[in-house]
Amino acid sequence: MKITAARVIVTCPGRNFVTLKIETDQGVYGIGDATLNGRELAVASYLTDHVIPCLIGMDPQRIEDIWQYLYRGAYWRRGPVTMRAVAAVDVALWDIKAKMAGMPLYQLLGGRSRDAVMVYGHANGADIEQTVDAVGQYIDMGYKAIRAQSGVPGVEKAYGVSGGTLHYEPADAALPTVTGWDTRKSLNFVPKLFEKLRDTYGFDHHLLHDGHHRYTPQEAANLGKMLEPFQLFWLEDMTPAENQEAFRLIRQHTVTPLAVGEIFNTIWDAKDLIQNQLIDYIRTTIVGAGGVTHLRRIADLASLYQVRTGCHGATDLSPVTMGTALHFDTWVPNFGIQEYMRHTDETDAVFPHDYHFHDGYLHCGETPGHGVDIDEDLAARYPYKPAYLPVARLADGQLWNW
Ligand code: GCO
Ligand code: MG
């Protein structure tokens, strides 16, 4: 069997997506996601200029060998651009293999570990009252787990607050928007939000919160401690994780569960955090870390230390990543939760898929492969539009982590 052609499709049905399509001499094709929010064209070029020429003529059945070829063979390892390109190829090849086998991908991975995948949605509002209402709407839709973010009094354009409640899109402008941040105000505010949420809805639902890399370890420990009475499912990305050791300090002070990893690219970014049991959930997903082949290794390492998966599932991960992640989630023994930010109808039309939401759970379909396709004619109607993630600045103008 041979790869006969491969091409990159860049489309913007409401937001940008980069998709790889690999064709074979058996008439079977596979689809992979290569989207890197705000830096899309770098991955498109990496694939078109440097990866696709090597793929032509290769045997698509040799997924592991092709993974190693692209990872070791580049000499320049890791990084978000490289690993997304590797992920796109890997996912397209798993799609081909599963289609050839006539099986949904989760069957090839080892079969079902669960009937359905528990997801969390994003509730947000300009203030506590609006956020409490938004959480109520998610509960009414059947969600068992909800992330809550709110505007903070005195902070311009706080993280995680959107115009609407169902769709949240931070990559919102042709040049980066400037947003605000204030640690003191946030530390004072977030516990009040969760106190109100527990007072209103009780303790039956899982509640989550994202610190989006803004706090120091000491501040993160403080917030974790203050939130203990409200029993969060997790606190996410409390401090930047380049220094994995920093999580030890947070851990020493709080029992609030910790999640991290949406910006990790390889097992090496998470190794110390996992082996030292400094986190509870690993957020890395398919497109972020080299596809199914590598994410499986991260999950297996995590399973030794009772760390569970919590795959990133923001709107900048295309339906191809969501569909593949759902097969992964359906199989992976140490599953925790799956993030689910809904795509717009325009995006869903460009990427026909067979997964569906019901009563707080996502269900992957039974179509052979990962179950997600691309309508290339429709995709062509939405040309690429430059869109950046925001930056964050403190009140005195200093740049902070967005
Ligand atoms: C989350 C996130 C995201 C990121 C986004 C950046 O879903 O937890 O932190 O929304 O900000 O993926 O592209
Ligand atoms: Mg996050």
DSSP string for 7-58: EEEEE-SSS-EEEEEEEETTS-EEEEE---TT-HHHHHHIIIIIIHHHHTTS
Query: Which ligand has the shortest distance to the CA of 401?
Result: 1
Tell if the pTM clears 0.85, that is, is over it.
Answer: yes
Please check whether the two domains, 3-103 and 109-370, share a CATH topology: no
Count of other CB atoms within 10 angstroms of residue 33: 33
Per-residue pLDDT of the chain (402 residues; tens, 9 = 90+): 999 999 999 999 999 999 999 999 999 999 999 999 999 999 999 999 999 999 999 999 999 999 999 999 999 999 999 999 999 999 999 999 999 999 999 999 999 999 999 999 999 999 999 999 999 999 999 999 999 999 999 999 999 998 766 777 899 899 999 999 999 999 999 999 999 999 999 999 999 999 999 999 999 999 999 999 999 999 999 999 999 999 999 999 999 999 999 999 999 999 999 999 999 999 999 999 999 999 999 999 999 999 999 999 999 999 999 999 999 999 999 999 999 999 999 999 999 999 999 999 999 999 999 999 999 999 999 999 999 999 999 999 999 999
What is the identity of the amino acid at 36? Answer: L
What per-residue confidence (pLDDT) applies to 168? 79
The C-alpha angle with vertex 341 and arms to 337 and 344, in degrees rounded to 5, equals 150
Count of other CB atoms within 10 angstroms of residue 283: 25
The protein residue whose alpha carbon is closest to atom 4 in ligand 1 is 314
Query: Which ligand has the shortest distance to the CA of 389?
Result: 1
In terms of CATH, what superfamily is 109-370?
Answer: Enolase-like C-terminal domain (3.20.20.120)
> In the annotation, is 212 catalytic?
yes
The protein residue whose alpha carbon is closest to atom 5 in ligand 1 is 314
Ligand 1: distance of its center to the CA of 2 in Å?
Answer: 37
What per-residue confidence (pLDDT) applies to 162? 82
Query: Which ligand has the shortest distance to the CA of 314?
Result: 1
Which of 159, 215, 340, 361 is an active site residue? Answer: 159
Which CATH class, in words, describes the domain spanning 3-103?
A: alpha beta
Paired with 311 in beta bridges are 338
CA distance 270 to 87: 17
Residue of 376, 369, 298 whose CA lies nearest to 327: 369
Paired with 123 in beta bridges are 148
The C-alpha angle with vertex 261 and arms to 256 and 262, in degrees rounded to 5, equals 115
Give the ligand 1 atom nearest the CA of 160: 10
Which of 122, 205, 206, 212 is an active site residue? Answer: 212
Do 269 and 231 contact (CB within 8 A), yes or no?
Answer: no
Contact residues of ligand 1, CB 6 A cut-off: 37, 170, 210, 212, 262, 314, 316, 339, 389
Read off the tokens for 50. 């440097």
List Cα–Cα distances, 299 to 269, 275, 302, 335, in angstroms: 13, 12, 5, 9
Place of tokens 């993974």: 67
Do 328 and 300 contact (CB within 8 A), yes or no?
Answer: no
Place of tokens 């049991």: 277
List Cα–Cα distances, 280 to 161, 194, 283, in angstroms: 26, 20, 10
Length in residues, the chain: 402
* Domain boundaries along the sequence of the chain: 3-103, 109-370
The C-alpha angle with vertex 325 and arms to 33 and 357, in degrees rounded to 5, equals 110
What per-residue confidence (pLDDT) applies to 285? 97
The residue to mutate among 177, 311, 312, 339, having the most atoms of ligand 1 within 8 angstroms of its beta carbon, is 312
Q: Going by C-beta distance under 8 Å and a sequence separation of 6 or more, which residues neighbour residue 103? A: 368
Residue of 80, 77, 73 whose CA lies nearest to 58: 73
What per-residue confidence (pLDDT) applies to 166? 75
Ligand 1: distance of its center to the CA of 314 in Å?
Answer: 5
